[in-house]
């Protein structure tokens, strides 16, 4: 059974990008679980001993394109980030969680 996407999410999609530099793969998985829980339950705090950055990108349906980049990753990580972005564009509940800064720019007409 497919996941239902709310009408408001379809009309005004928001991409959540969260990054915390230098975390291991295991630490990223833990952070993702905490973020997913905090989105489901606003009373659930995220407490960490490292700096966490969180951006919400509002997708513009009238944009002629978008550019997503990080100056800290190699070609292999670019491919992984590309897959993460593709998932987030299809599913408004998907969160991009990485251990390097990511920047997103919607290109307007």
Domain boundaries, the chain: 13-107
Confidence class of residue 60 from pLDDT cuts 50, 70 and 90? confident
pLDDT tens, 82-100? 999 999 988 878 999 999 9
Cα–Cα distance for residue pair 4/18, rounded to 1 Å? 24
Query: What is the reported pLDDT for 13?
Result: 83
pTM to 2 decimals? 0.80
Does the pLDDT of residue 9 top 60, yes or no?
no
pLDDT of 1 reads 44
4, pLDDT greater than 80: no
Nearest CA to 48 among 39, 58, 63, 38? Answer: 38
pLDDT of residue 74: 95
């Amino acid at each position: 059974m497919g996941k239902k996407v709310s009408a408001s999410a379809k009309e005004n999609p928001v991409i959540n990008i969260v990054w915390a530099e230098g975390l291991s793969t295991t630490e990223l998985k833990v952070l993702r679980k905490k973020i997913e829980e905090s989105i489901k339950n606003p009373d659930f705090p995220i407490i960490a001993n490292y700096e966490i950055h969180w951006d919400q990108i509002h997708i513009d349906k009238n944009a002629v394109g978008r550019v997503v980049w990080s100056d800290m990753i190699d070609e292999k990580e670019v491919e992984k980030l590309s897959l993460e972005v593709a998932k987030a564009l299809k599913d408004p509940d998907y969160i991009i969680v990485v251990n390097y800064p990511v920047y997103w720019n919607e290109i307007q007409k």
